Amino acid sequence: MDALAHPSAHAQPLLPGAVVRTATLDALRKLDPRLMVRNPVMFTVEVGSAFTTALFLHAVVTGRGDAPAGFILAVAAWLWFTVLFANFAEAVAEGRGKAQADTLRRARREVVATRLSAPSRDAPREDVPAARLRRGDVVWIEAGQIVPGDGEVVEGIASVDESAITGESAPVIRESGGDRSAVTGGTRVLSDWLVVRITAEPGQSFLDRMIGLVEGAKRQKTPNEIALDILLAALTLVFLLATATLLPFSVHAVRAAGAGAPVGLTVLVALLVCLIPTTIGALLSAIGIAGMDRMIRANVIATSGRAVEAAGDVDVLLLDKTGTITLGNRQAAAFLPADGVTERALADAAQLASLADETPEGRSIVVLAKERHGLRGRTLESGAVFVPFAAQTRMSGVDLGGRRVRKGAQDAIARFVAAEGGRVPDEVRLIAEGVARGGATPLVVAEGDRALGVVELKDVVKGGIKEKFAELRRMGIRTVMVTGDNALTAASIAAEAGVDEFLAEATPEMKLAHIRAWQAKGHLVAMTGDGTNDAPALAQADVAVAMHTGTQAAKEAGNMVDLDSNPTKLIQIVEIGKQLLMTRGALTTFSIANDVAKYFAIIPAAFGATYPVLGALDVMRLHSPASAILSAVIFNALVIVALIPLALRGIAYRPAPASTILARHALLYGVGGLALPFAGIKLIDLALAALRLV
């Protein structure tokens, strides 16, 4: 079991010591301007830091600086801190992923593969390093060996330990054909043997992609991130203009007023850095990495950040009924006896007929009889002959002494009873039809020529799922249940589970057509799938989550893989996507709203000497011009550090309609962002004055 496997089991601290130590070093390494230039806002700050440092050196060397050397040094130092804090935020986010990548990398040991010259176990073999395997190569793997690369089983059946990837310790069966034919490089064959055709080129295997993703090394900016970057760059330009033009304005003002001196370059750089959206600029990439990280912690591997973003936009969820909405199988819900038969007698016969039935339905009948009527599961004396379910007879049961007990579909039992010389009474027929109309499955029980009654088998809707769907509806997300059941059954389950729509007797083609129809109306559709026949629908869906237990084809068609193979995960994925976008929006709003207070701190400080009346704008009553400017710069730097946990964790998410969420966030991050810096700058100013630092 590794760090990736069950992160929730031992909740990691947000900032483990080791991560912080590496991140601190990384923050320095990231000062390289070639890396910084990717982030226009923080690159501007870095240029400003270098420039003020040069101004400081100039002041020290010539003795006639543009401000007292100590002041310039303080500003320069805090500007450098601003850049470092931003780098630190990014490094921490990456560091959390790196720890997981290291664990994964251990799985990618150098293994020697046995290559077959043809896709058959008898073909000639040769040993090659796994790294040299190309797509299309065929390999032989036997018990105890590591699977050398991603592939499709072409021959054989084996149990495979996939815990290195999924964290699930129970071994899984992999066999050729069907939906369990995909194997993943780095997993271990525990028993038997497999012939596998490799499906990934070296360096592009699932494991490689996962490592790349969690490390953030191959992280590309997502479309929305690019758009936000452009907006931030535009704002940076606006403020560059506003501050750069202040120099000529102040030259003009000094000439007009005949007092003071033109504003200093140090002050202008400080003002610029305070105004440009450094908070969001510093945290933007950390927010993105943390979003991917939250997916990974939910055991979902997204193939791109774009998919995570799209998850936030999804407004139609296609959910498979089985496993997502209902528990895996039908369960016995009631015994409905025929006239003259007690419920207990029916339960007894039904239990008897099910004792050897290992299907979940059969087991549930045994359990229900025990719960309702205290009938204990009996061990049957010898002489009992079990009649297993067969496709031809469509019933199962037991022969015990003279008793011939059967349970099965209505028509099958009717045939059995007729053969025994009896006939199923009309009232049993009516009960059975009533059960079917209610969306459940009737199972008729008979003993000899007598039909005893009906067992109602019901799909059991998962607890809490109805509330979950109501929540989704409030968020504007429609749920569509997809099932192979007939329309009657589907409608009844749909009503019970509270889904908005259902697709009954669904075939893969219908699924695909359904998705296209939604998309044509402008909706974004998410779905889960595992089988090869799901692949076209997965490829069409905007967010497609393939189950890790599924086929290679399904996994390639999807843009996310759920390692837990839990279809309910889709809901969590949507929430993570939304949370990512919200965090971005909230911090952008906060960052821009912050600027108002900084103007009120710096403008009076910068122009007080020329126009003393501007002191009226100093609403915070700051200690001195130098302290006002420093306090604003320090606040600006510290707020980045203070918000790192928020960026990594994402802002609190509660499902609600968009208008409610907007009102809450506008108040919290907009109005709050407007007010907070007034208090923050004043406090820093008081501290600086108390410590006699200014």
Tell which one of 249, 356, 394, 516 touches another protein (CB under 8 A). Answer: 249
Helix count and strand count (H, E) for the chain: 25, 20
Tell which one of 230, 470, 517, 683 touches another protein (CB under 8 A). Answer: 230
> Is residue 246 near another protein by the rule CB under 8 A?
yes
Question: Which 574-613 positions form the footprint of another protein (CB under 8 A)?
Answer: 577-579, 581-582, 584-586, 588-589, 592-593, 595-596, 599, 603, 607, 611, 613
How many residues belong to the site for another protein (CB under 8 A)? 76
First to last CA, the chain: 55
Q: How many residues does the chain have?
A: 694
Tell which one of 256, 495, 683, 693 touches another protein (CB under 8 A). Answer: 256
> Is residue 259 near another protein by the rule CB under 8 A?
no
Q: Which is nearer to another protein, 185 or 312 (CB)?
A: 312
> Is residue 657 near another protein by the rule CB under 8 A?
yes
State the Cα torsion 570-573-579-584 to the nearest 10°.
-130
Distance from C-alpha of 454 to C-alpha of 407, rounded to nearest angstrom: 9
What is the smallest separation between the CB atom of 596 and another protein, expressed in angstroms?
7
> Is residue 173 near another protein by the rule CB under 8 A?
no
Cβ contact 143:191 at 8 Å: yes
DSSP annotation of 324 reads I
Q: Which is nearer to another protein, 409 or 656 (CB)?
A: 656
> Is residue 663 near another protein by the rule CB under 8 A?
yes
What is the smallest separation between the CB atom of 476 and another protein, expressed in angstroms?
3
Q: Which is nearer to another protein, 417 or 629 (CB)?
A: 629
Distances (CA, A) of 284 to 30, 37, 40, 545: 15, 14, 12, 26
Per the DSSP assignment, residues forming a β-bridge with 451 are: 446
- HSE-CB at 627 with a 13 A cutoff on CA atoms is 20
What is the smallest separation between the CB atom of 579 and another protein, expressed in angstroms?
7
Distance from C-alpha of 528 to C-alpha of 554, rounded to nearest angstrom: 10
Helical packing angle, 625-649 and 278-297, nearest 10°? 20
Q: Which is nearer to another protein, 200 or 597 (CB)?
A: 597
Q: Which residues lie below 8 Å from residue 687, measured CB to CB, with a gap of 6+?
A: none
> Is residue 100 near another protein by the rule CB under 8 A?
no
Question: Which 400-459 positions form the footprint of another protein (CB under 8 A)?
Answer: none
The site map against another protein for 314-343 (x = CB under 8 A) is -x----------------------------
What is the smallest separation between the CB atom of 480 and another protein, expressed in angstroms?
14
Greatest Cα-to-Cα distance within the chain, rounded to the nearest angstrom: 121
Residue 435, SS3 per DSSP: helix
Tell which residue, 575, 582, 572, has the closest CA to residue 647: 582
Question: Which 191-220 positions form the footprint of another protein (CB under 8 A)?
Answer: none
Distance from C-alpha of 251 to C-alpha of 248, rounded to nearest angstrom: 5
Distance from C-alpha of 654 to C-alpha of 673, rounded to nearest angstrom: 21
Q: Which is nearer to another protein, 523 or 623 (CB)?
A: 523
> Is residue 307 near another protein by the rule CB under 8 A?
no
What is the smallest separation between the CB atom of 314 and another protein, expressed in angstroms?
9
Cβ contact 333:442 at 8 Å: no
Tokens of 596: 């108002």
Q: Which is nearer to another protein, 107 or 254 (CB)?
A: 254
Q: Which is nearer to another protein, 56 or 239 (CB)?
A: 239
What is the smallest separation between the CB atom of 630 and another protein, expressed in angstroms?
19
Q: Is residue 293 flagged as an active site residue?
A: no
Tokens 């025994």 correspond to 420
DSSP annotation of 132 reads G
The residue range among 59-67, 304-312, 328-336, 549-557 that interacts with another protein, by the rule CB under 8 A, is 304-312
Q: Which is nearer to another protein, 514 or 555 (CB)?
A: 514
Of the listed 137, 229, 320, 459, which one is catalytic?
320
State the Cα torsion 685-691-693-694 to the nearest 10°.
50
Tell which one of 171, 434, 438, 670 touches another protein (CB under 8 A). Answer: 670
> Is residue 266 near another protein by the rule CB under 8 A?
no
DSSP annotation of 249 reads H
Distance from C-alpha of 212 to C-alpha of 36, rounded to nearest angstrom: 21
Q: Which is nearer to another protein, 382 or 659 (CB)?
A: 659
What is the smallest separation between the CB atom of 110 and another protein, expressed in angstroms?
42
> Is residue 157 near another protein by the rule CB under 8 A?
no
Question: Which 465-484 positions form the footprint of another protein (CB under 8 A)?
Answer: 473-478
Distance from C-alpha of 172 to C-alpha of 184, rounded to nearest angstrom: 12
Which residues belong to the active site? 320
